[in-house]
Structure formats: structure tokens, C-alpha cells
Amino acid sequence: MNKPVDRPPLIRLAVPADAEALSALILRTIRESNTADYPPDEIERVCASFTPEEVAKQIAARDVFVSFAPGSSQASPETRPVGTVSLGVKPRLSGGETAKLHVLFVAPEWQGRGLGLRLVAHLEAHALRQGHRLLQVSSSLTARQFYQRLGYRELAFEPRAEGSTYLMEKALV
């Protein structure tokens, strides 16, 4: 069990220069934390969506947030990314927009210390400020109970060769 956080990680919007470090964080977390729930071939197909080039595209297309472990001094407030989460918005055929939480990852050594909770709360507040009242997520099999705990309700199972998920949603207040 990891220890509670005394100095919580900072959260800011990602910039293109973050793509490489974010890709490394995501790939390491998938390979360490999701392997119990997905077979190796699916894990590698999921990883193909998070190369530095793909992460750079995501930073351009979505509101990507990155969380840094606090540095040891005021002069170096950021060290390395330890968590990430994104907001993607798509127009619906029926009109309006669907807001979706994507790519929530917490570095394995930071899991169980409340950072996942903080990142989701940060994203929900951001989505609400953008005028969204409903937030969806395609949850990994690994995170299904985590989202249930945060008030997300299950809508459908989404079978996929590159990692099956559960579509879930939550009303924002």
C-alpha cells in the first residue's frame, strides 16, 4: 500500500513539449497496472495509441491535464509527470455535445494515495465550467469499481480488440 500524499501533485494543462514524458508515464502504467485484466496482445494494441506522436495529437485535440510530483525547491516546482486525465468533446448526431473523460492514468508508485480522485474531480470541475452537465467515460476493466465509487453508472459493455471497456456516465452538479 502506498503512503498518503503530504504535498499533493500540481495539476496543469499539458503542452506539446509534455508528449514524450506523458507517453512514457502512460505506457509504463498500462504495462504494470492493466496486465491483470487484459491479455498481452490487447495490452500492446492499447499501447499503440499512446506513442509520443499519438499523445501529441491528443494534446492538440483535447484538454489534457498533467500532474507533476512537487519538486524539492521553489526553483524547480515540477519534476516528472505522475498522473494525467483529458476532456474530449464530440458533437452528437441528435444535436448538442458529448463530453468524455479520457486517458486517466496514475503512475503505479502514486496509486492508492488519492491522486486518481483529485484528477477526476479536477476534470469534472473543468467540464462543468465549460457548460457540460453530463460526463461519460469508457472505463478500463481495471478502473470499473473506481468509477462506480465516484458515482459513475454503467451504460454498456464495449467489447474491443484494443481493450474492452465499460461505458459509464455521471451527472455533474
19, 23, 25, 29: which one contacts ligand COA (CB under 6 A)? 29
> Does 136 engage in binding with ligand COA (CB under 6 A)?
no
- Which one, 19 or 104, has the nearer CB to ligand COA? 104
Cell of 24: 512514457
Tell me, residue by residue from 32 to 51, as one string, x for binding to ligand COA by CB under 6 A and - for no binding.
Answer: -xx-----------------
Q: Which stretch binds ligand COA (CB under 6 A): 53-61, 73-81, 143-151, 154-162?
A: 143-151
Least separation, in Å, of the C-beta of 114 and ligand COA? 4
> Angle, to 10 degrees, between the axis of helix 52-61 and the axis of helix 19-33?
110
Query: What single-letter amino acid sits at 148?
Result: Q
Concatenating the DSSP letter of every residue in 128-158 gives HHTT-SEEEEEEETTTHHHHHHTT-EEEEEE
Tell me how many degrees the CA angle 131-136-141 measures, rounded to the nearest 5: 155
Tell me, residue by residue from 67 to 106, as one string, x for binding to ligand COA by CB under 6 A and - for no binding.
Answer: -------------------------------------xxx
Helix (H, G, I), strand (E, B) or coil at 92: coil
- Which one, 19 or 116, has the nearer CB to ligand COA? 116
Place of cell 499503440: 48
> Does 163 engage in binding with ligand COA (CB under 6 A)?
no
User: Cβ(67)–Cβ(25) under 8 Å?
Assistant: no
Could you tell me the strand order of the sheet in which 134-140 lies?
A: 10-13, 63-73, 76-91, 97-106, 134-140, 165-171, 153-158
Q: Look at residues 29, 21, 20 and name the one whose alpha carbon lies nearest to residue 47.
A: 29
> Does 146 engage in binding with ligand COA (CB under 6 A)?
yes
Least separation, in Å, of the C-beta of 131 and ligand COA? 23
49, 51, 142, 164: which one contacts ligand COA (CB under 6 A)? 142
Query: Which residues of this protein are in contact with ligand COA, per CB under 6 A?
Result: 29, 33-34, 104-106, 111-117, 137, 139-140, 142-143, 145-146, 149
